[in-house]
Amino acid sequence: MIDLSLVSDGGVGWLDASGPESHLVLSTRVRLARNLERRPFTVRSTDADREGVLQAVQDVAKKTVGLGHAHLIRIDQLPRIDRQLLHERHLVSKELAVPDAVDPPRAGAALLLQDGVGLMVNEEDHLRVQALTSGLSLGLAWGKVKSLDTELGQQLAFAFHPEFGYLTSCPTNVGTGLRASILIHLPGLVLTKEINKVLQSLVQVGLTFRGLYGEGSEVVGNFFQLSNQTTLGKSEADLLDHLAKIVHEVVGYEERAREVLLRDAPGVIEDKVWRAYGLLRYARSLSFEEAMNLLSGVRLGVGLGLIPNVGMYALNKVLVFTQPAHLATEAGAASSERELAVGRARYVRRTLEEEAGR
C-alpha cells in the first residue's frame, strides 16, 4: 500500500476550507501542459522514450526549489488500488493513474509531489505541472505552478512554437497549456432550477463544466468543476482573470438563489437539510451517489447557518475519503459494492459524530 503520510499534508491540504469563498468553492486547480523538445509525445513513445523523459525530469527536478525534496511516486509500479487512491485524492489525472485503454499504465508514468504542488510525468503530455489550493485562489495556485514551470524551463527545453506557443499532445491544450478549474458547490441554483441557464452562459463565454472527477465525470451532489476551455490566443493572466471574474459572478448567483430559497421556502429547506443530516448520521449503507447528494444537503445547511457543529473541512474530507479506493484501503482489503456502501456509511457516521462532539 502507498504511504501518503510521507507527503507533507497527505496531499489533501487543499481540503482544509481555509481559502476565500470556501463556503462555496472547495478548491482551485491550475495545471500547465509541457512537452520536451525532440522527444516523441507520450502516446507515440516507446518505454525507453518515457524512461528517458522521466530520467531527464528527475535530474532537473532535484535541483529546483519547487521539487528539490519531492516525493517520487512511480505510478507504473503501483497496484491499481493505490493508483485509484491517488486519483481520488485529485493528485493525478485518471489518464495517468487508471487509464481506460492501457492498464497498468505506461512504463515511466510517475508523480513528483511536494507541498501541494505535483508534477505528473508521462501523462498525455510529458509534463503536467499542477497546484491544488483551498477555496477560490487562482492567484495562489498560479503562482506555485508558474514558479515551478520557470525553474523547470530553465533546465529543460520545452516544445514551443513561436506562433502557437507550447505544443501539446492534444490540440485543445496548445498555446498556454493552461487549464484552471474551480470546484464549486451550487445547490441553490439547482434547487431554483436556474443551473442550466447559468451553465449555458458559461459555455458562451468560453468556459466549460464537469463533475467532481474531471473530464467525462457526471455531476453528482451539485458539485461542478468550472474551467477555461480556451488555451490559445490569450495570455495566462487574461485566461485566469476571465475565469475569476466569471466564477465570482456564479458565486453571486448562488448566493442570491440561496436568499430566495430562505425567503420563499425556509421550512422546506430546513427540513431538506436536516433530513440529509439525519440520514448521513444514522444510515448503515450509502451508495456513492446518495452520499454525495446528502452531503450536498448538509453542506447547504451548514452554509446557510441552519446546521451548526459541522465543519466544511470535515465535509470536504468526506468527499474524498468515501471514494472506493480510500474505503478499500481503510478496510485493508478489496471490497464489494455492498461492503463499500457499509464502509462509506460508517466513515460518514463517525465523521459527523466527531463533529457533533467537538
Q: Is 171 in the site for its own copies (CB under 8 A)?
A: no
Q: Is 285 in the site for its own copies (CB under 8 A)?
A: yes
Cα distance between residue 316 and residue 300, in whole Å: 13
Select from 278, 287, 350, 356 the one that contacts its own copies (CB under 8 A): 278
Task: Candidates 13-21, 107-115, 163-171, 277-285: pick the segment binding its own copies (CB under 8 A).
Answer: 277-285
| Site size with its own copies, rule: CB under 8 A | 18
Q: Which is nearer to its own copies, 31 or 281 (CB)?
A: 281
Q: Is 281 in the site for its own copies (CB under 8 A)?
A: yes
- Least distance (Å) between residue 340 CB and its own copies: 12
Q: How many CA atoms lie within 13 A of 253 on its CB side?
A: 23
Which contiguous run of DSSP H or E holds residue 253? helix 236-264
Q: Which is nearer to its own copies, 129 or 340 (CB)?
A: 340
The answer to whether 351 and 318 have CB atoms below 8 angstroms apart is yes
Question: Among 47, 108, 104, which Cα is nearest to 74's?
Answer: 108
Task: Candidates 115-123, 168-176, 243-251, 275-283: pick the segment binding its own copies (CB under 8 A).
Answer: 275-283
Q: Is 345 in the site for its own copies (CB under 8 A)?
A: yes
DSSP result, 6-61? GSTTTT-GGGS--STTTTTEEEEEEEEEE-BTTS--GGG--HHHHHHHHHHHHHHH
Q: Which is nearer to its own copies, 135 or 297 (CB)?
A: 297
Non-local CB neighbours of 276 within 8 Å, separated by 6+ positions: 293, 294, 295, 296, 297, 298, 301
- Least distance (Å) between residue 161 CB and its own copies: 58
Q: Which is nearer to its own copies, 33 or 291 (CB)?
A: 291
Q: Is 284 in the site for its own copies (CB under 8 A)?
A: yes
- Least distance (Å) between residue 212 CB and its own copies: 24
**φ and ψ of 275, to 5 deg:** -65, -40
Radius of gyration from C-alpha coordinates of the chain: 21
Beta bridge partners of residue 127, listed in sequence order: 34, 121
Select from 94, 219, 275, 293 the one that contacts its own copies (CB under 8 A): 275
Applying CB under 8 A, the residues found at the interface with its own copies are 267-268, 270-271, 274-275, 277-285, 338, 342, 345
